[in-house]
Chains A and B, each alone.
Chain A
Amino acid sequence: MSRRTGLSRHLTLTNFLNAVISAAGLFFLAWVAWRLISWGVLGAVWSSPSGAEGCRGTEGACWAVIESRWRLILFGLYPYEEQWRSILACAVVVVVTVLSCIPAFWTGRRLAALWLVGAGLYYILMRGGVFGLSVVPEARWGGLALTLFIFVSTILIGMPMAIGLALLRRSSMRPLAAAAALVIDSVRSLPLLSILFTAAVVIPFVLPAGMSGDKLYRVIIGFALFFAAYQAEVVRSGMQTVQRGQEEAALALGLGYWQRMTRILMPQAFRYALPPTISQIVIAFKETSLVVIVGFFELMASANAAYGTGEWRFAYVEVYVFVAAIYFVFVFSLSRYGAFLERTMRVGKI
């Protein structure tokens, strides 16, 4: 007997109806599965030395497009001989992400150190210029590596911003709290695209010439601001969940503001805020795909380029399925981890 939640508490389907729906549903699932297998596996063309010609007239998937374009999708315009660096850089990001899922790393200092080292390693590998690595400018970064770079920088810049904004918003100093509230609320009601567009196009008008920096970094700052505005509310609601007595006790012990925040309030608030924080991070990962619109060659853009040129024009489904699978692996594992945390925390294990 399953847990009786939701509708099943009273809207129990009768046995006959239940059997009919189950049979129809099973049939539907089997049909979908069969169509997918016969398209994607049985009738598929896995490799085609003659290019797109090899896929003419097949009913199934043409995975040969991936065989011929995977480097473009994963690395973009990164120089061919140096692409091993791009792979290593992606591996660094994955390792850092996995390590920060381990509770042993869950102190502010360790997490910050881990991510800073990871980002530094990534930058050295991708950019080069030291240890005999040739220099590859940011303009040639692309594909999955660029997506991961934008993602990591967004989190790295956005998280401290979020904590700062959350602390400011609950500050007793009125002008500071009002300014933080204004920033958070207006950023939250604007579409991310308009912020990215502002960062890419408008900032050069506002800042003096030479101060606006590279477009990539402006867009990353825009991303970080957007992430921070949402994350600040997550952190703030975590702070509100911490019992008042905790802060009052700390105050009574004579602890100063910073000690109260870093030793008493923040550790507890983050414990409560962990599941929504992970879902914010997942959203940030998915939203990196938007930079294609302001003209960067990340994973989404390289997918469009992979089938957009002449001979592979018919193979759009295969390319999108492949890229969707890459996003799926990252997003699904992160969100499963978030759900796992939520379950264990409800039991009180962490």
Chain B
Amino acid sequence: MAPASLRNRRFSWLVQASFVAVVVLVAWFLIDSTRKNLEVQGVTLGFDFLFRSTGWNINYSLIPYSPTDPYWKVLVIGLMNTLWLGFISLVTATILGVLIAVARTVNNRVLRIIGLFYVESVRSVPVLLQLFFWFAVYSNLPGPRQAISYGDMVFVSGRGVFVPGLNVSAASGALALAAALVTLGVLLWVGQARRFRRMEPWPKRGLLLGILLLGAAVAAAVLGLGRVPGTDLVSIPARRGLNFVGGVTIGLEIVTMITAITVYGAAYISEIVRAGLVAVGKGQIEAARALGLGGWHVFTRIHMPLAIRAMLPSLTNQYVWLMKATTLGIAIGFTDFFMVVAVSITQSGHTIELIAILMAGFLLINYTLARVFNWINRMIALPGSRVSS
């Protein structure tokens, strides 16, 4: 009889081989039955439908869209809406979350109690219920005729929020936004990167100011070139009849989505930030104080940088959650990626292909997000040191 280790190895090979065989068999079985089901229904697999026109309209789009546009365009719009909503909610939820975390950690009992109430009550109610609640609240605001006015510039109504906007073409607006983001990136790079660390403070400050002015000038020039001829540069919403003209209308659906995701996400983010602040070792802070740093400097130079390193992995998970939470838009009719796919399925009948696109889209978004944050995590990691020591 073979020795025990050899017997184990044989057994292990047997298990692995049969596992692979079962997987192949099940996959073949599923593919075969799918093919038969589709044959019965008279549907042919394939992505040709992406180039057919949709014939239905959507209520929120960042780029011009008409029902004669093809399916691939509506899917791209859905993806853009998801990313746009995710980006805004990520920023607002982080800001609110940090504020609450600070309220929960300063030495003021009343602030701590307010923070505690917020976190415990928001986290104990499903986000979908909160979404429905906010949607009901917003839809029951007065109609455009009795809209609540803030200085005759911003109007809030049950049909959406009307804010002043610029009379410029969409493309130049996007270009100006891109210019602003690039400027911000360059500023951060020059300000933080090791390459510029040995520069004298004054020329460095001058350089930063120059970059800022250049970026602002480029953005202004792009906006100026894209002006819609024959109109004022700034357009302010004004009541006309039953609705508003001019300005920018922010739809009820996206406002509701941002509110619900921000309120709910902030409760979780605040817990992560709080844990990060608490995790920083006592020795680090005592050492900083021993060096004679004041409270503010200890916080901005020692405590926060170390805390960010401690909280980044959990924050990444929370941001991935936030991206996935945009799919709740279908509950109130916000045309995010998921809703666009769901409507496309009922309209075109290409279920399998569209589900594959949906999954590929989310895998791509979340994988990219995780990679970006892991990269940041690696970049800021302190070699050879632990956060809490």
Contacts and interface: CB of A to CB of B under 8 A. Distances in A.
A70 to B, nearest CB: 17
A194 B358 contact: yes
Contacts of B342: 197
B108 A18 contact: yes
Contact of A323 (B20, B104, B129, B367): B129
Interface in A311-331: 314, 316-317, 320, 323-324, 327-328, 331
Contacts of B331: 292-293
A324 B106 contact: no
Interface string A173-201: 11110010000001001111110011001
Contact of A10 (B20, B104, B289): B289
Interface residues of B, number: 69
Contacts of B36: 208
A172 B37 CA distance: 38
A243 to B, nearest CB: 20
Interface string B100-128: 00101111111101100000110111111
Interface string A7-31: 1111111000010011001101100
B297 to A, nearest CB: 9
A192 B324 contact: yes
Given A189-B320, A189-B363, A317-B137, A10 B121 contact: no
A21 B34 CA distance: 65
Contacts, number: 180
A245 interface: no
A202 B352 contact: yes
B295 interface: yes
A289 B328 CA distance: 11
Contact of A328 (B19, B121, B295, B330): B121
Interface string B1-32: 00000000000100110011001000000100
B124 A327 contact: yes
A286 B124 CA distance: 8
A335 B107 CA distance: 26
Contacts of B296: 11
Contacts of A18: 107-108
A21 B137 contact: no
B126 A327 contact: yes
Interface string B306-348: 0000000000000010001101101100000010001001000
A10 B285 contact: yes
A189 B366 contact: yes
Given A10-B295, A189-B366, A206-B30, A21 B108 contact: yes
Contacts of A328: 121, 124-125
A224 B133 CA distance: 27
B351 interface: yes
Interface string A116-131: 0000000000000000
B128 A331 contact: no
B250 interface: no
Contact of A205 (B132, B352, B363): B352
B133 A320 contact: yes
B298 A10 contact: yes
Give the interface centre of A6, A204, A320 by most chain B CB atoms within 10 Å: A6
Nearest to A207: B33
A146 to B, nearest CB: 15
B351 A205 contact: yes
A194 B327 contact: yes
A100 B363 CA distance: 36
A201 B352 CA distance: 10
B75 to A, nearest CB: 14
B84 interface: no
Interface in A1-58: 2, 4-13, 18, 21-22, 25-26, 28-29
B126 A289 contact: yes
What is the predominant secondary structure among interface residues of chain B facing chain A?
A: helix
B65 interface: no
Interface string B133-160: 1001100100000000000000000000
A6 B105 contact: yes
Contacts of A204: 37
Interface in A64-97: none
Contacts of A193: 327-328, 330, 338
A191 B324 contact: yes
A287 interface: yes
A314 B136 CA distance: 10
Nearest to A8: B107
Nearest to B323: A191
Contacts of B338: 191, 193-194, 197
Given A18-B107, A21-B108, A332-B124, A5 B19 contact: no
A102 interface: no
Contact of A7 (B102, B127, B362): B102
B43 to A, nearest CB: 9
Contact of A207 (B30, B106, B295, B303): B30
Interface in A188-245: 189-194, 197-198, 201-202, 204-209
B174 interface: no
Contacts of A194: 327, 338, 355, 358-359, 362
B381 interface: no
Contacts of A303: 129, 132
12 contacts: A6-B274, A8-B106, A10-B285, A11-B107, A11-B295, A11-B299, A190-B359, A300-B126, A303-B132, A324-B125, A328-B121, A331-B124
Given A8-B107, A13-B106, A179-B19, 15 more contacts: A7-B102, A13-B108, A29-B110, A176-B15, A189-B320, A191-B362, A192-B324, A194-B327, A202-B352, A208-B33, A293-B128, A300-B128, A303-B129, A317-B136, A335-B123
Interface of A: 2, 4-13, 18, 21-22, 25-26, 28-29, 172-176, 179, 186, 189-194, 197-198, 201-202, 204-209, 286-287, 289-290, 292-293, 300, 303-304, 314, 316-317, 320, 323-324, 327-328, 331-332, 335
By Cβ-Cβ distance, the 10 closest A-B pairs, closest first, are: A6-B105, A25-B110, A8-B107, A191-B324, A316-B136, A289-B126, A286-B126, A7-B105, A189-B366, A191-B327
